[in-house]
Structure 1
Amino acid sequence: MPRSLKKGPFVDEHLMEKVRKARETQSRKIIKTWSRRSTIIPEFVGLTFAVHNG
């Protein structure tokens, strides 16, 4: 079931912090996360994520 439009996308705060650091340092390192519930937002474009699936 999709998330309500009035609520907006959900992104874990710790994941956003990792993205901010990667953007500031221009790091090409893979970002590891266990946050499967987070929505992909435009700030994530160009970064590589390793999402835990198990």
Structure 2
Amino acid sequence: MPRSLKKPLNVNEKLLKKFQQANQEGKTKTFKIWDRGSVIPPEAIGQIALIHNGKTFFKRQVTQNMVGKKWGQFSPTRKSGEHGKAGTH
């Protein structure tokens, strides 16, 4: 079911203010982000985001292609594993 166009985007207001303040200062800062469900605003372009996946933080540089998507898309929650290597027994 698609999202209604009448609904506003879920943007974390605290993060948005921090991004705007960093842009006014003209600095590239690192932000820790726990809210994986919020949308990446255009003010975050050029900043560095540490996105929490439930256990660790993943460092990502915010680019133009990331705007409009959710933070959780850029932080993997599952690690790829192998079942067992041949010759280890």
TM band (smaller chain): 0.7 to 0.9
- Counting strand residues as a fraction of each chain, which structure ranks higher? 2
Change (3 A) 1:13 1:28: same
Sequence identity percentage? 44
Unaligned runs of 5+ in 1: none
> 5+ unaligned residues in a row in structure 2: which ranges?
55-89
**Distance in 1, Cα, partners of 2:36 & 2:18:** 15
Tell me which stretches of 4 or more aligned residues in structure 1 moved more than 4 Å.
none
8 Å CA contact retained: 1:15, 1:35: no
Distance across 2 between alignment mates of 1:31 and 1:18: 9
The structural deviation recorded for 1:8 is 2.7
| Bigger relative CO (Cα 8 Å, ≥ 6 apart) | 1
TM norm structure 2? 0.51
User: Structure 1 pair 3/49, CA: closer, same or farther in 2 (3 Å)?
Assistant: farther
Decide which structure has the larger Cα Rg and report it: 2
Partner of 2:16: 16
